[in-house]
Structure 1
């Protein structure tokens, strides 16, 4: 289900001016999630649903100005048929590059999109150390499968939201073995200023210097560029 559209973004697709399409629903329950309207079923049903024709009309209005399309959520890969139908039309009717934001939990879906040349760039979120994924209702084995399918097939980046409750040097150390092959690792500063999925957990907030230390830590361990965002 498509639940949102942003006509112009300068930050969601590296190096491109993009339109952003939001899919509703998610199989994870990250306490730091700020898109809770797209996650909680009782909130999701209050949002209007957008059809593919509407999305394509909006994209065509911006053809010549935007240089890419971002598909995000929620978790878009939970709606594989709708996602594929949308991507097929974007490619056929606009021939724009597509970036997919995903939690990596649906390797079979991502593999089929890659084989059909429907995605040009993928951003995979690393939430916390592999052994802590059950805390967010996730299974890191699925993310590992996704990574093995993506490497060498399509450019991808790894995104890490630096939430103190879930990310420290210990968690980063545990994630290092899974970072090879990425275009970059992006560490995003967590901004605790929105309504959160679970306000009862004290998530904490890192400052800019903390993120710089994380960057230096990773640069000493991986041969992948590390960038900071929202610092």
Structure 2
């Protein structure tokens, strides 16, 4: 039987807001984002089974409050619902990190009350989406956004930005786009990493926290280093 997880990060205080959590890294992805710094996960093979993942959660019961289902792209796995259900049965909060390409999976998880928080990645606007991601799922992202917007679940929208791929004008347009979609939460910008192996051989991004500030009255924009 295929093993869905590439790795487990046993402890983090950064990936679930205000909670002690672990991260389950699902192997594989249906995008090939140029700046992606997890090619081993995207192109790798699973190492950890569902049973081993559940065993890990049992061993951390009372020590951790939440589990983050990330990747890769967790929503493309048939086992994501099983793992989310097991985590909820054990009393964990569940967060998913998703590119929004699988709105049906997202909807099913919400319908069964299996997730508590979502980080939704806005990779780019439609005109640049395929060039950056090698995928044609922008409208699926929009559907996923609408599903979250009409739900009662807490969620955030975030973007990883690289100066070779996202100009300041592009980023400003993404802020405007989210505002027009009636998003009023915090928009998180994550600076693409330099000096790591990425899917595409990119020049170093010149963006950093100091020069990537956006003053806007439309949305709160927070830069994550």
The reply to whether TM is greater than 0.5 is yes
TM-score by length of 1: 0.87
Does the Cα contact within 8 Å between 1:32 and 1:163 map onto a contact in 2? yes
| Matching residue of 2:112 | 116
What is the Cα deviation at residue 130 of structure 1? 2.0
What is the Cα deviation at residue 182 of structure 1? 5.3
Q: Could you list the runs of 5+ residues in structure 2 that have no partner in the other structure?
A: none
Q: Could you list the runs of 5+ residues in structure 1 that have no partner in the other structure?
A: none
What are the equivalent positions in structure 2 for 1:200-211 lying under 5 Å apart?
201-202=202-203, 204-211=205-212
Aligned counterparts of 1:98 and 1:182: Cα–Cα separation in 2: 23
What is the Cα deviation at residue 220 of structure 1? 2.7
Q: Does structure 1 residue 198 correspond to structure 2 residue 194?
A: no
1:123-165 deviation per Cα after TM superposition (whole angstroms, max 9, x unaligned): 0111122211111222211110110011131111111112112
Does the Cα contact within 8 Å between 2:209 and 2:223 map onto a contact in 1? no
Q: Does structure 1 residue 167 correspond to structure 2 residue 166?
A: yes
TM-score by length of 2: 0.90
Aligned counterparts of 2:19 and 2:150: Cα–Cα separation in 1: 22
**Deviation above 4 Å: which 4+ runs of structure 1?**
none
Q: Which moved more, 1:101-110 or 1:171-180?
A: 171-180
What is the Cα deviation at residue 55 of structure 1? 1.2
Matched positions, count: 216
Instruction: Indicate how the Cα distance of structure 1 residues 203 and 124 shifts in structure 2: closer, same or farther if over 3 A, else same.
Output: farther
What is the Cα deviation at residue 207 of structure 1? 2.4
Does the Cα contact within 8 Å between 1:24 and 1:75 map onto a contact in 2? yes
Does the Cα contact within 8 Å between 2:162 and 2:192 map onto a contact in 1? yes
Does the Cα contact within 8 Å between 1:187 and 1:229 map onto a contact in 2? yes
